[in-house]
């Protein structure tokens, strides 16, 4: 009895600490959303961002005029994202969480690290943008909970209107739709416990590279941190290192 009270107290203290830690960045995001709902400000900000973007590869941040940003649902989603990011188990240089996922193709249960081959880097893509690096790296797209479900923070910019997944079947069906857009890549879905999402702080979207069971690249929290260019830079560096070591072997 007293231990369960103790555990509960610990939980509440932990929750309170998390809330305190997240409050400043959450309030910042809320104020930003509120400001961006003034279309004149939104246009100016996005125009400036577009000017600064030197690389067209990263998916552009853009929101159509009809989408309101400051709403209860959007704030809930932002809080959820910050919380997952804060509590994630995945950290650069540390072991990669080997969470359970379900293969889209045959609905077989597997684990993240099952997709890593030998010493080859494995790109974990919690998003939909696909880059092919078949020569030096493998990649797997992990479909997690919907960023903009039609019964949550709805967005008219979303390609499909998908409600929150209530069961694995829903999630697999939604992933199937996404798979049609990016055929030819390996897609797995998060379990209904959302364990990969939690372990990797993946919501809304995020990029990782794993190698030999470790996290060797950790992208920022999406959408603003979802940078294909960063991923590409890492792979370019890796390719150079590989070539150098190959040359050494040949010359010996």
Ligand X SMILES: *[C@@H]1O[C@H](CO)[C@@H](O)[C@H](O)[C@H]1NC(C)=O
| Residues of this chain that bind ligand X (CB under 6 A) | 145, 164-165, 192-194
The CB-of-165 to ligand X minimum distance in angstroms stands at 4
- Which lies closer to ligand X via its Cβ, residue 58 or residue 145? 145
Q: Which residue number, 103 or 194, has a Cβ lying nearer to ligand X? A: 194
Looking at residue 220, what DSSP letter applies?
P
150 or 194, CB closer to ligand X? 194
Residue nearer to ligand X on the CB measure, 193 or 243 = 193
- Sign, Cα dihedral of 165, 167, 171, 174: negative
DSSP state of 81: H
Please report how close the Cβ of residue 231 comes to ligand X at its closest, in angstroms.
Answer: 25
Q: Minimal distance in Å, beta carbon 197 to ligand X?
A: 7
Of the pair 203, 208, the CB lying nearest ligand X is at: 203
Tell me the residue number closest to ligand X, measured at CB: 145
Shortest distance, CB of residue 149 to ligand X, whole angstroms? Answer: 7
Three-class SS string for 158-217?
Answer: CCCCCCCCCCHHHHHHHHHHHHHHCCCCEEEEECCCCHHHHHHCCCCCEEEEEECCEEEE
Neighbour order of strands in the sheet with 122-126: 109-111, 100-103, 186-190, 138-143, 122-126, 206-211, 214-218
Closest contact distance (angstroms) between CB of 192 and ligand X is 6
Q: 124 has which bridge partners?
A: 140, 208
């Amino acid at each position: 009895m007293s231990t369960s009270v103790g555990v509960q107290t610990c939980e509440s203290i932990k929750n309170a600490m998390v809330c305190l830690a997240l409050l400043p960045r959450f309030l910042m995001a809320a104020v930003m959303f509120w400001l961006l709902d003034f279309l004149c400000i939104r246009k100016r900000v996005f125009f400036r961002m577009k000017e600064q973007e030197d690389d067209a590869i990263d998916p552009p941040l853009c929101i159509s005029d009809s989408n309101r940003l400051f709403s209860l649902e959007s704030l809930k989603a932002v809080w959820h994202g910050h919380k997952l990011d804060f509590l994630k188990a995945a950290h650069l240089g540390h072991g990669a969480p080997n969470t359970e996922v379900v293969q889209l193709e045959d609905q077989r249960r597997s684990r993240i690290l099952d997709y890593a081959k030998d010493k080859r880097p494995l790109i974990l893509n919690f998003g939909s943008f696909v880059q092919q690096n078949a020569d030096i790296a493998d990649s797997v797209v992990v479909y997690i909970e919907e960023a903009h479900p039609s019964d949550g923070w709805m967005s008219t910019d979303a390609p499909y209107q998908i409600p929150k997944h209530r069961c694995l079947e829903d999630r697999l069906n939604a992933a199937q739709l996404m798979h049609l857009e990016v055929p030819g890549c390996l897609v797995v879905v998060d379990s209904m416990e959302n364990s990969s999402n939690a372990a990797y702080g993946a919501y809304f979207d995020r990029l990782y590279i794993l190698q030999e069971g470790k996290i060797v690249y950790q992208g920022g929290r999406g959408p603003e941190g979802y940078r294909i260019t960063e991923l590409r830079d890492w792979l370019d560096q890796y390719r150079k290192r590989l070539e150098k070591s190959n040359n050494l072997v040949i010359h010996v």
